[in-house]
Amino acid sequence: MSEGFNLPHLGPLEQQVMNVLWVSCELNDEPLTIRAVSEQMPSLAYTTVATVLTNLKSKGMVEQLRDQPVLRYRPARGRAKHAAWMMKQILAGAHNRSRCLEKFVAELDPDDIAVLRQLLQPMSVG
């Protein structure tokens, strides 16, 4: 991978919080308060959720909205867009992009390959 390539790593708690935020935004497109996230993760203390959200903000994974006096959080990107962004970042950091794509496609199942072909077809016409 090239220098300067830095993909944000999410720890297990960060991933769990992101999943809560993604589900909420996919269902009703509403940012959540720390309390709302905490209520969906009853095994974690409120302060732990607040810390995780602060860490996610510093990683550029969430946006913080100030709704005086309450802070609300939402994902910076939806789940599918985040996955696409991650793939693009990995490809950008590859020394050999063609080889990276070749290995990626080799790992896909036939249904995913069919979807990929369908998505690429309009690009090749014209």
CB 31 within 8 A of CB 76: no
What pLDDT sits at residue 2? 42
Architecture in CATH of 12-75: Orthogonal Bundle (1.10)
Q: Would you call 5 helix, strand, or coil by DSSP?
A: coil
What pLDDT sits at residue 31? 93
* Element (DSSP H or E) covering residue 67: strand 62-67
Q: Which residue has the tokens 């769990």?
A: 16
Instruction: Round to whole Å and give the CA distance between 8 and 86.
Output: 9
Instruction: Round to whole Å and give the CA distance between 92 and 60.
Output: 18
What pLDDT sits at residue 1? 38
Q: What is the mean pLDDT of each run of 10 residues along the chain (126 residues)?
A: 59 94 89 96 96 95 89 92 89 91 94 93 74
What pLDDT sits at residue 125? 64
Q: Which two tokens stand for residue 79?
A: 């789940």
CA 37 to chain CA mean position, Å:
17
Residue 75 β-bridge partners = 62
